[in-house]
Structures are given as structure tokens and as C-alpha cells.
Amino acid sequence: MKHCRIWGLVAGVFSALMWVLSMPPFEFAEAAYVAFVPLLLWQYTRPGRRLTVLVGLGTGWLSWLFILIWLRHVTWFGTLALSGVLAVLFAAWLLLVGWMLPRVADRSFVIRALAFAGLAGAWVVLEWVRTWLFWGFPWAPMALSQWQRPVVLQIAAWTGAYGVSFLLIYFNFCIAQTLRSRVVTKERKLWTGWFSLDLYVAMAALGLCIFVFFKSLPSRDAAQELLTAAVVQPYIAPELKWDETKELENLAILERQTRFVASLESDLVLWPEAATPWPIVGYPEMQARVEALADEIGKPILMGNLFADREAGLWYNGAFLVEPTTGLADDFYVKRELVPFGEYVPEPFGFIEKVVPLGGSFIPGTTPGLIALEVRGQSLQVGSLVCYEDAFPHLARASARAGAQVFFVATNNAWYGEEGGAPQHAAHSVLRAVENRRPVMRCGNGGWSGWIDCYGTVRDVLRDAKGSVYFRGGGSYTVVHFEEWMRRQSFYTRHGDWFVAVCGGLVLVALSLGWRLRRKG
């Protein structure tokens, strides 16, 4: 038992290390293919359930703590607690692995393949559950590790990002089984040693992704310019943004940076989340000032901003368009997924104050709220995602189904310091771009600002002279789309999370198989 505990501890530390390194901002994407191999090899030794749960909790908590370490700038307690909740889900998955894996280790390849698929499917189901559990936190699915590997990501246009997560977890099982077979059988023959059938299947699945990538490539002349966006990063610190004594100064910074970027050749200007010190709707003076600025620069301003119903005491976060001469557009977007304890306090925790010292509780939107943008003689339907909404697959999909041709993400990551929060957040936009075959424009208060094409390639990122995404200033980028996707929707956009349902079926098959093997001894 002492020997088993030591190996469990070592396996947990190595798996946690590789799990963290696979995620942005560390960018060691290949670690995701073997991250859980140490824990899987340990599970073959049949450790007890209690020990498995303890190691699972420790591994999960340590991994999530470092993945979400940037959140400590807002709340240490929240970071520790959230990591603990996510660790419970990981421990539950590892417990299922420990129950199933030793039973199928020496069975036929078909039985192993079904078991591995069921266990990988269980991982996917738990990722999907995180979208809805408590107040929803689908952050950092395993697929996020591949955000700079568009070759692997293309299957997401059919399966959603869940298909990429499934591939990575299944690959881990195949590698672990191959290594175990090599150690247990001490096989020296080339084709039945390292190159086991399990490994062949894993490589074939990866080869399928590569095949899909090349089949998905657009023709050379398919790219069409949609627009050139000038981006404003006012980079106002969160502790100053809502300081009443700094409101006019903050507004002056925003206007000065807007005039600067408006001098660049561009079709419109982008502002980040909650850009102005006062809401654009509900404060006529603020609306008039922004409209005057749009008239002055002669370009529309697409922004994240607030809506205040002062009589009813209701607040809304969303995206708005202000155009020259015509002013604030009638079409606007209201944020659908609010941040708990930031924009509202869940009912059981009414005694806790919101992190954001602004207004009362915000009210969520219920529709995609597309914004019609007239640019270059055409009308583009813009689907907006505010703050961390681009981490929720169903929100982007709903916008694409409603007719969005391009996504606009307005956010403020200045809350989380200058570490991994902004690039880790931006990586989710890559998944949404591939899933729905729609380009994504991003504008952050202090970064990450840039755009991603519909194949998940990061085409441009605004950086300062030192190469950092965190800076006050701005820049511009030209967004292109591909002709074949201008008026088409992806399979995932049309059919949604069908792959999660398939994974649920695979879990049931694996459980049934496990019970049969258990009865047989």
C-alpha cells in the first residue's frame, strides 16, 4: 500500500504538470496527448477506491488551481473553491477509470476499444455538464490545449470542441495500454511491441483529423475582405474604472485613443466591454457624447457597453452600435450569460456583495440580438459575445443559427493581471470560430485584441513594441471570410451537441460491459 501511494502521488504530480503545460498560456499542446498516461498506468495496479479519490482530488485541484491562477487577482477564495469543485468532477472520472480499466486491460482489442471510448465519452459528458452545473463554467475544456493547432481542430465543425477533447482523452488511453503491454509482456517484437493495435487506432484517429484539415482547406481565391476594424484598448485598471473621481479622466483616455486609431485606414472602430464610465443607454449625456465622437471621426463605433433603466433599477450588459449622423442604432445585444458574484449574486448567497461595484443585479438577455452593420456597401449581421460568453458553445451557436456572419467579442481582462488570463480567454474564441465557421473579432480593455478566421487560425493580434498584448493604445486588422462559408452554416451549427449524446451512449455501453466483466470475475 505504501508503494502504491507513492506511485499514485508521483503519477498525480506528473499528470497535473502536463495538464497545466498543455493549456494556454504555456502552449505545450502535445502534452495533452499523454497528460493522463501516468495516472492511467497507475490505475492498472488496482489501487483502492479511497486512494483513487484522494489522488484524483489532489491532481484535479492542483491542476485547476494553476490553470485558473490568474483568477486570484479578483478572489483567492473563489479560485481555491472553484478549483475544488472542478477537482471533484475529475476525481469522479478517475474513479470510473479505476473501476473499468483493470477489467479490460487483458481483454480483446474490441472490448478495450469500447471501454476506452466510453471513458473518453465520460470525460466529454462531464465537460458538457460544466456548462450547466451550478451557474455554468465550461472554461478550459481539453480541446483548448489545441487552440494553436488548427490541423487538429477542424473536426469541431462537425462534433463541436467536444470531439477534440474526446480524441485527446482516447489517445491517452491508447498510449497507456501500449506502454502497459510493453512492460507486462516484455514483448521484443517490433510490430506487436511498441506498435500495438491500440496505438494504430490512436494514430488513425489523429490521421483522420489531418485528412479533414486538408479536405477543409479553402481554395486560393476564396478569401474576401469583410472590413477593417480599428481597435481601442484604453487599458483602464479595474480599481480605477468605477472610481467616481476618475470618470471624466477615463472618458478622456477613451476618446483620445479613439481619435488616434480612427486616423488609421478602417471601416469601423471597436471598443471593449463596458467602455464608457456611464451607460450608453439611460444616460442621455453619455449617449450624446459618444454620438458626437462618431460624427467627428466619421466612422461607426461597435462597443461593449451598459444599459440602465434608472426608474426600474435594472441594468444590462451588452453590445451597441453608434453610427455617424444616425446615432445609436436600434439593434443591440444583451448579455445572456452573466458572471455570478460579478454581475449578480445567486439567491442562496444574498449576503455576499458583488465584485463589480456598479448598479444592482444585472438582467440577462434571452436572444442572440444580432446587430446589422452597414460596411463596404453590404449589411453584415454581427453576433456579439460579451466577457466570458465565448466560453459557452451554445451561445455562439445560437448566434450563428440566427444568421450571424461574424462574431464580436468585447471583454475586459484587466481584472486578472498580466499573466495567462487574457490569452487563455482568447483561446475559447478559436474553438467558437471553428465550430461555427465564422470569423471572430476581439477587443479587450487591455488585450487580448485580434481576430481569428473561420478555420481557427489566429490571423492578427495587437501587441506593443515589447511584444506584449497588454498595453494602452490600439491598432487595426482586416477581417476576411471565405466564400464557401459566407451563407452556409456548419454541421455543428445546424445540429448542435449531438456528439455529446453519442458520448453518453458510449458511457452506457462501457458501463454495461464493465458490469458483465465484473460478474464473470
For the chain, the straight-line distance linking the first and the last C-alpha, in angstroms and rounded, comes to: 23
> pLDDT value at position 140?
96
The per-residue pLDDT for 517 is 83
For residues 278 and 286, is the Cβ–Cβ distance under 8 A?
Answer: yes
> CA-CA distance, 38 to 32, in Å (whole number)?
12
Question: Which position has the grid cell 456548462?
Answer: 131
Rounded CA-CA distance 418/404 in Å is: 32
Q: How far is CA 30 from the centre of its chain?
A: 18
- pLDDT averaged over the chain? 91
Instruction: Find the range with the poorest average confidence among 217-221, 346-350, 465-469.
Output: 346-350
Distance separating alpha carbons of residues 35 and 16, to the nearest angstrom: 7
Instruction: Give me the pLDDT at residue 149, please.
Output: 95
Percent of the chain with pLDDT over 90: 77
CA separation for the pair 411, 168 (Å, rounded): 29
7-14: average pLDDT: 94
Closest CA to 54 of 116, 98, 120, 119: 98
C-alpha gyration radius of the chain: 24
Looking at residue 186, what is its pLDDT? Answer: 56
Q: Residue 189: pLDDT above 60?
A: no
Residues linked to residue 54 through DSSP beta bridges, in sequence order: none
Q: How confident is the model at residue 415 (pLDDT cuts 50, 70, 90)?
A: confident
The C-alpha cell at 501 is: 449524446
CA-based torsion, 149, 152, 157, 163: positive or negative: negative
pLDDT (tens digit per residue) in 224-276:
999 999 999 999 987 777 777 888 999 999 999 999 999 999 999 999 999 99
**Residue of 132, 168, 174 lying closest to 153 (CA atoms):** 168
Instruction: Please classify residue 491 by burial: count the beta carbons closer than 10 Å to its beta carbon, then call 0-12 exposed, 13-18 middle and 19+ buried.
Output: middle
C-alpha grid cell for residue 9?
Answer: 502521488
**Residue-wise pLDDT tens digits, 60-82:** 999 999 999 999 988 899 899 99
Give residues with Cβ within 8 angstroms of 501, minimum separation 6. Answer: none
| C-alpha cell of residue 271 | 471598443
Backbone angles phi, psi at 402, to 5 degrees: -75, -10
> Residue 395: which residues within 8 A CB-CB, separation 6 or more?
336, 337, 385, 389
The answer to whether residue 345 scores a pLDDT higher than 80 is: no
pLDDT band at 53 (very low <50, low <70, confident <90, very high): very high
pTM of the model: 0.94
Omega cis (within 30) before 25:
yes
pLDDT, average across residues 125-141: 93
Q: In angstroms, rounded to a whole number, what is the distance separating the alpha carbons of residues 3 and 48?
A: 13
> Could you tell me the fold of the domain covering 231-481?
Nitrilase/N-carbamoyl-D-aminoacid amidohydrolase (3.60.110)
Domain limits of the chain? 2-218+502-520, 231-481
- The whole-number pLDDT of residue 349 equals 62
Would you say residue 292 has pLDDT above 80? yes
